[in-house]
Chain A
Amino acid sequence: MTTKMVRILFPLAALALLVLIPLGQGNYIIYVMTSWLMFSIAAMGLNLTLGYAGQISLAQASFMGIGAYITALLTLAGYHWVVGWVAAMGACFGIGLLLGYPALRVQHHFLAFVTLAFNTLVFLVLRNEEWLTGGNHGLVGMPRPSFFGISTGKNLEFYYFVLILFVISAAVFYWIVNSPWGRAFKALRENPVRAESLGVDTRRITLLAFAIGSAFGGGAGAIMSPLVQFIEPGSFALVHSLKILLMVVVGGAGLFYGPMLGAAVVILLPEFLRFTEGYYLMIYAALVIVLMVYSPTGLIGLGTKLWQQIRPQSEVRKDMSKGAQL
């Protein structure tokens, strides 16, 4: 099988699995899977910022929050969910640009601090502006949308609805990273000086990566509103940004399937480790540390590494490996 065929067949097989798995499952499994798809979209956005453009952002949860609150307020006011979704992504894109413009003057770990402050700021605004956000009591009872008479009220219906959004997001993401922009992002991450010398406007490209990544966060937030049907500031605190960052890093930053795998691990692993009771957080933390030491490119990197070791390889002639020394 050629690599090209694998590239086409793998997503199709994965999609077929995603369609089939929830059939006949209980509501809990369906809820967890929907939640996984939602976090995958948010992690995809961060992957663009972190994995492709090489900038650390600790504000992805706050963009989810902004998206979730915008969608909640609009749908509660009687607008269709799509209006909320578009507004959420648009607003996050705009805020991403506004925040990114001054923030990206400072890069890398300084950007991490700026986004960290931004996340805390958003949390405080959501909590203290009670007239708009409901403060600590949050917003409750957001309706699940219906399209052309088809309701998404039931959990399984809502899962398929989110799956469609997930596929759209993944397609857009794939298109971005394989477009000239995507190549510019990668060039920027690998060697900013060289990228600039080749005519890439680094400031503009980084800003764009950050804003698009933020818009993905807003899109995921727009899903959270009707999924949980309750939002409160605590769901978008800094610790959740760290969780999304962990998803990207554990899965494999800069790899297409990385954040999806990472989100699955972060959401599902606590379930698998439940039998260890109080120790699961420790085991989980230890696993992440070991993973980062052994394979900084995450689980996908680890898989590739192992595959390289076991797959049959053509032996290089020993004299050739010495090359010009002989």
Chain B
Amino acid sequence: MIRRLAATTLTCMALTAPAAMADVVLADVAELSGAGAAAGAVWHDGVKMAVEEINASGGILGEMIDLKEYDSQTDPQNSRAMVQKAIDEGAYVLLGTVYSSSTVVNMLVAQQNGVPQLTGSESPTITAKGNPYIFRTAFGAQKGLPKLVSYLKDGLGAEKIAVVWANTEFGKGGYDAFMSIADEQGLEIVADVSTEQGQVDFAADVTKVKGSGADAVFVYLTEEESARFLIEAEKQGLELPLGGDTVLVSQKVIDLAGGAADGAFGHVGLSAEAPVPAIQEMAARFQEIYGYSADHNAIKGYIGVYVVKYVTEQIGEFDREKFAETLHGLCLSAADYPGVLMDVCWDETGEMSRESFLVEVVDGSQEITESLPAN
């Protein structure tokens, strides 16, 4: 009896062990709750979708992806703990976090442990710290903002600008980058309005902008705050052009702000409305599976997983060190690597470049007004 039991146990172990070993663990550390859930949850769905597609087509180097999710609760310290947990649980590559204030903390842990990390954060500081394991899935604000500033100046003929920004790690990075470019271009800043994360009432801020005599407004806030600002601006009848970065014209903000988002424009690295068939197909599948529209965060997460697949297949093994080495200076073309959706390159700091778009919100959806080349 005991012998038979032992034999059965052994057989079971022999059968299950290789299957368990053959999975490659990818960890997604994202803002699934808290103030950043509007961004993190969408990113996570993008990641999930790519993982399912890759698993359905045979995985990476013949191994299935075991996706583990970790909720940072939009708390930088918690995100650090979660990245530690993900690494303890054998993550091959980390995906996330989206909020820059979390990424600057947890990327240190990934660096100490030598685990490559693909982040959705856009704060300029992330790739400026010399961390060899951090890679972006969307370029930093410092690359996108010069394009927006020249549009404000030459496209709209604006000279006086009001700046509304979130006083957080994310907002400060974009604010500093915008101010230095605006200074170079000779734009005059007539109102400088800093706001808090999770701020609900933007009445005073809009009033200040209204009375500043600005020609245009630069809005650099996270998703929910952007929507609240747009709603308040409409309520107070603010007639100025409202321009921003990816977030201001993102699908999430349009959904939250409704009609108030119409007329807002921005420089966008990734958009479901981009005139790129691969992105539109991906967005349509996303809509079908999750029942809501994909935005830049979903596309970032989606691309991130495919980058893991392509780079790993290039090096031919699951080696974190080689992964990071290979990704530095790598270019992937959408023709050969359809999962990246658009041609993309990374430099030595993990910063990336890609074609981008100028977008305007018309009748509750994004409309591409111009395509800008990669820089």
Contact = CB atoms under 8 A, between A and B. Distances in A.
Nearest to B171: A136
A29 B81 CA distance: 9
Contact of A230 (B85, B108, B168): B108
B169 A27 contact: no
Nearest to B197: A234
A4 B317 CA distance: 62
Q: Interface residues of A toward B: which range? A: 20 to 34
A147 interface: no
A94 B85 CA distance: 38
A63 B88 CA distance: 32
Contacts, number: 61
A136 B172 contact: yes
B76 A135 contact: no
B88 A228 contact: no
Given A230-B104, A230-B105, A234-B101, A137 B84 contact: no
B87 A281 contact: no
A137 B104 contact: yes
Prevailing SS type, chain B contact patch: helix
A232 B88 contact: no
A274 B84 CA distance: 17
B88 to A, nearest CB: 3
Given A27-B87, A281-B33, A232 B101 contact: yes
A136 B167 contact: yes
B125 interface: yes
A31 interface: yes
A28 B85 contact: yes
A26 B81 CA distance: 12
B369 interface: no
A278 B33 contact: yes
A140 interface: yes
B252 interface: no
Interface string B147-184: 00000000000000000000111011100000000000
B236 interface: no
Contact of A140 (B71, B85, B108): B108
A235 B168 CA distance: 12
Contacts of B85: 26, 28
Nearest to A30: B84
Nearest to B112: A229
A203 B176 CA distance: 48
Contacts of A232: 76, 101, 105, 169
Nearest to A130: B172
Contacts of B81: 28, 31-32, 35
B207 interface: no
A80 interface: no
B108 A137 contact: no
B77 interface: yes
B104 A234 contact: no
B76 A28 contact: no
B80 interface: yes
A31 B87 CA distance: 13
Nearest to B175: A136
Given A31-B81, A136-B168, A137-B172, A235 B104 contact: no
Contact of B108 (A135, A229, A270, A274): A229
Contacts of B87: 27-28
A274 B77 CA distance: 17
Interface string B67-85: 0000101001100110011
B113 to A, nearest CB: 8
Contacts of B101: 136, 232, 234
A35 B80 CA distance: 12
A235 B84 contact: no
Contacts of A141: 108
Given A35-B77, A136-B172, A138-B104, 13 more contacts: A26-B88, A28-B84, A28-B85, A31-B80, A136-B167, A137-B104, A137-B125, A137-B169, A140-B108, A141-B108, A230-B108, A234-B168, A270-B73
Interface of A: 26-29, 31-32, 35, 127, 135-138, 140-141, 228-230, 232, 234-235, 270, 274, 278, 281
Q: Which 10 A-B pairs have the closest CB atoms?
A: A26-B88, A28-B85, A136-B172, A28-B88, A28-B84, A230-B105, A136-B169, A31-B84, A27-B84, A27-B88
7 contacts: A28-B87, A35-B81, A136-B167, A136-B168, A229-B108, A234-B168, A235-B77
